[in-house]
Amino acid sequence: MAQKVKTRRTVVIGMLGTTLDTGMGSQRWTRWRPTVSLCQQEDLLVHRLELLHPPRASSLATVIQEDIAQVSPETEVRLTSLPIQDPWNLEETYGALLDHVRAQSFHPEEEDYLVHITTGTHIAQICMFLLVESRLIPGRLVQTSPGKGKEHGAVGTHAIIDLDLSNYDTLAARFQRQQREGLSFLKSGIDTHNAAFNRLIERIEQVAVQSRAPLLLTGPTGAGKSQLAKRIYALKKARNQVAGPFVDLNCATLRGDGAMSTLFGHVKGAFTGAVGDRPGLMRQANGGVLFLDEIGELGADEQAMLLRALEDKRFLPVGADKEAESDFQLIAGTNRDLQLDVERGRFREDLLARINLWTFRLPALRERPEDIAPNLQYELDQASQALGTRVTMSKEAQEYFLRFATSPEARWSGNFRDLNAAVLRMSTLAAGGRMTREVVDEELERLRTQWRPAGTAATSGSEDVLAEVMGPARAAELDRFDQVQLADVVSVCRSARSLSDAGRTLFAQSRAQKKSVNDADRLRKYLARFGLAWSDVSGRDAE
């Protein structure tokens, strides 16, 4: 005896349309009513309709229930009143729908679920979509449309939308392609290989296109903060997220009374020499992006005014009695430890808290040795444009340069500024646009001289360096002899890629006299004399 096949049931979940579903008297049958129309489709049998409605629409819901019973006796209509007082309130509407869905028992192995998204407010439709997209409702979307001509009349048509269809994969692929283009754009088209840097750029792209909150770019001088800020602005501009200009300022150039005027503007007669009104950079950045590089150099008054402008989007120009307004996104850059500056009273704690929501540290060039090769090619292209002629490197010259550039000997203290200057010099000296080994030799000797400590000049920043790794109190307890020596060791450690690399550089002469060498262990013991470990001085984990 043949086994009887169990028919799957179709269940529709929909929101009552308090406008589209209305209609009284016999004339209502000539109107297109989406909820009734859904149950009149010849090729869609609705076994059960879960009709949700706000409390005040109970009478209309009952009319719809009775009318569906006439046109589709096979359809069971269940009415459910949801506690929604304001159907345009996203939080209230989504909360009520979510609570209702979580209280239901779904049986996808026995029933097919459709969610009707034609009726209800736009807020309700969005919430319904989200519940299906997140699979909290294990079903598909169904949309009804009014009929055209006599063929469909008030019955209309319907379309089922499956969020798992392959054409949505195409949409996802387009989104991913757009994201990859954004990442490449932020990297100036350079195919970088450093995994940590690529993750950093990916996160910056994600935040930049979704947020207008301040961004703080930290890292050593020459690491590319200014260039990245310009790229972030260009990316936001290309995606229609900003309409205003990109305005940038190096705060280290601000001095004296002119600082407030440069940033916030002034009115005529505000001070001697103020012969006219000046809008100031902050007002010029309205609707766009304001990049303040070296923000740690701002004075106390400028910091206070900037905080007010960020929080209230209002500020007072110098000499004015009326506030100005400007709505801009701030990108700040610094090579300083702003938290340390806060502890020393040099930077406002509340301002740091305001700009520290999204902080990204750009690594030094020496921390990305695998990225020097693609950046070398980029700089060669830039030099070619600047000189108006195509510049190339012989294979021998390129390998020789990269061998030095990725070694512990290459300090790259100026980071990309050093690399840019080196390539530009070599390109200028390249006869016929072809860079030879001899040209590279000359440049490497220049770099070695440039990076060589000049006598005691290397000790000028020793106090700040040691205060950063040990704390001001412990650093002050050291003899000057130890301060100078330890500061140089810390500098080498920060430049090296590993504990062993640092040891080889520091003990380059004495290690040649030893039968058995363990540079890493020697350096580890030296640091331990001062209560320090490799991670303290380098910012990286031990090997």
**pLDDT (0 to 100) of residue 5:** 47
**pLDDT (0 to 100) of residue 151:** 46
pLDDT digit string, tens, across residues 137-174? 888 999 998 876 544 457 888 998 876 544 555 555 55
Question: 351 vs 335, 342, 348, 471, CA distance in Å?
Answer: 17, 10, 5, 23
φ, ψ at 514 (rounded to 5°): -100, 140
**pLDDT (0 to 100) of residue 242:** 84
Residue 287 is given by DSSP the state T
**pLDDT (0 to 100) of residue 29:** 86
Longest dimension (CA), the chain: 108
**pLDDT (0 to 100) of residue 439:** 93
**pLDDT (0 to 100) of residue 171:** 53
Give counts: helices (H), strands (E), the chain. Answer: 22, 15
Q: Specify the 3-state DSSP secondary structure of 126.
A: helix
Other CB atoms within 10 A of residue 294 CB? 19
**pLDDT (0 to 100) of residue 483:** 87
User: Measured in Å, how far apart are the chain's first and last C-alpha atoms?
Assistant: 73
Cα distance between residue 39 and residue 47, in whole Å: 9
Interstrand relation of 329-334 and 215-218 (parallel, antiparallel or unpaired):
parallel
pLDDT in tens, the chain (543 residues): 444 445 789 999 999 998 898 887 788 888 889 999 999 998 899 999 999 999 999 999 999 999 999 999 999 999 999 999 898 999 899 999 999 998 888 888 788 999 999 999 999 999 999 888 878 888 899 999 887 654 445 788 899 887 654 455 555 555 566 666 777 778 777 788 889 999 999 999 889 888 899 999 999 989 999 999 999 999 888 877 888 999 999 998 887 767 888 899 888 876 777 777 888 899 999 999 999 999 999 999 999 999 999 999 999 888 888 889 999 999 999 999 999 999 989 999 999 999 999 999 999 999 999 999 999 999 999 999 999 999 999 899 999 999 999 988 898 989 999 999 999 999 999 988 899 999 999 999 999 889 876 544 444 456 677 877 887 778 878 888 888 899 889 888 887 778 888 888 888 777 667 666 788 888 999 999 998 988 888 766 555
Beta bridge partners of 61: none
Question: 449 vs 178, 251, 443, 455, CA distance in Å?
Answer: 45, 30, 10, 13
**pLDDT (0 to 100) of residue 454:** 52
**pLDDT (0 to 100) of residue 379:** 93
**pLDDT (0 to 100) of residue 453:** 65
Element (H, E) at 500: helix 499-506
DSSP per-residue string spanning 73-84: TT-EEEEEE---
Torsion of CA 378, 379, 383, 385, to 10 degrees: 30
Cβ contact 362:228 at 8 Å: yes
Give this prediction's pTM.
Answer: 0.56
Q: What ranges in 249-405 are assigned the alpha helix state H?
A: 258-264, 281-284, 300-312, 338-343, 349-355, 372-387, 395-405
SS3 content of the chain, % helix, strand, coil (to 5): 50, 15, 35
Question: Of 520, 223, 183, 247, whose CA–CA distance to 366 is shortest?
Answer: 223
Please name the residue that has the structure tokens 């979704």: 210
Cα distance between residue 213 and residue 418, in whole Å: 32
Please name the residue that has the structure tokens 């779904």: 106
Cα distance between residue 365 and residue 420, in whole Å: 12
